[in-house]
Amino acid sequence: MLVQKKKLLKTIIIFALCFILFITYIFLIEPNRLEKTYLIIETDRFPENSPPIKIIHLTDFHIDKIGWREKRVLKILASEEPDLIFLSGDYLNRKDKLKELTEYIRSISDIAPIYFTLGNWDTLATQEAVIKGGGVSVFEKKLKVHPVPGNNFEFNIFSIKYNWAYIGESNEKRRLDELLKDLDKEYFTIFLAHTPDHFPFAIEHDIDLMLAGHTHGGQFRLPFFGSFYTDSKFGKKYEKGYFKERNTILYVNRGIGMTGNIKFRVRSFCSPEILIITLKSKKK
């Protein structure tokens, strides 16, 4: 009997320790384990005589406060010395942090020019805060060719108004057709989206690169199972990472922060991500 009791106690202690370790991991370790993903894209639309350019894509900050993770992002950005920085929305979990957001965006724009769009957590006040910090909005903007400072590479960039939700095939097609009717294919074209749900339309319009976030990679994942929820009409299909169909590349970034929808800010087997893209001329 005593041996059985000892065994039970030992099992309970092991379970309790595992539980404490897992809680520590999902609350403290994984949310701060910033991972860098490197992606090289070669294109015919890049001038042969130009040095490659480095673009950093960040998304889904979901800021509650400017803490260790946000400051660490700044350090990584500074050490990578990008030419451009793209932001895909969902900046704040708390509406009272607009001033902090402006200051944070200013610290990022001191490193490189920022182009940004909005996400489903953002309002026009958020947009103003990011613009005040030095960001250039492409939200609901027509195509425009932008130069890269110090480089003779020019690119198109655009976003759409309802870029966080699928708005129905005919609505979406009409909106994109309107935005893209003057598309000059001489230039590399980037669709700065929030959700990956628009990927079929990016393929149809022969967009070179679509950058998205929104899914957070599922945020809470388990080994061999993956995510529980992605908030995408495609479910797990485009939950994270690299995809290429026909001429269009899609990268779905896992994002930096965690959704404010639930009280607990946790990540499991889904670390925050900084995407570092090198864009260069295709070798002929």
Nearer to Fe ion by C-beta: 90 or 197? 90
Nearest to 117 by CA among 253, 272, 276, 280: 253
4: enclosing H helix or E strand: helix 2-24
Q: Taking the complex as a whole, how short is the minimal distance between the CB of residue 91 and Fe ion, in angstroms?
A: 9
Nearer to Fe ion by C-beta: 175 or 254? 254
Q: Taking the complex as a whole, how short is the minimal distance between the CB of residue 259 and Fe ion, in angstroms?
A: 6
Cβ partners under 8 Å of residue 88, min gap 6 = 57, 58, 59, 60, 116, 117, 119, 192, 193, 194, 211, 212, 213, 214, 253
| Tokens encoding 43 | 């294109």
Q: What residue number has its CB nearest to Fe ion?
A: 90
Q: Taking the complex as a whole, how short is the minimal distance between the CB of residue 208 and Fe ion, in angstroms?
A: 24
CA distances from 214 to 9, 76, 106, 161, 191 (A): 44, 22, 23, 15, 15
Q: Provide the binding-site residues for Fe ion, judged by CB under 5 A.
A: 60, 90
Q: Taking the complex as a whole, how short is the minimal distance between the CB of residue 177 and Fe ion, in angstroms?
A: 28
Cβ partners under 8 Å of residue 37, min gap 6 = 253, 273, 274, 275, 276
Report whether 40 contacts 244 (CB < 8 A): no
Nearer to Fe ion by C-beta: 54 or 69? 69
Q: Taking the complex as a whole, how short is the minimal distance between the CB of residue 273 and Fe ion, in angstroms?
A: 13
Nearer to Fe ion by C-beta: 82 or 257? 257
Nearer to Fe ion by C-beta: 60 or 208? 60
Nearer to Fe ion by C-beta: 152 or 261? 261
Distance CA 210, CA 137 (A): 16
Q: Taking the complex as a whole, how short is the minimal distance between the CB of residue 213 and Fe ion, in angstroms?
A: 6
Decide: helix, strand or coil at residue 143.
coil
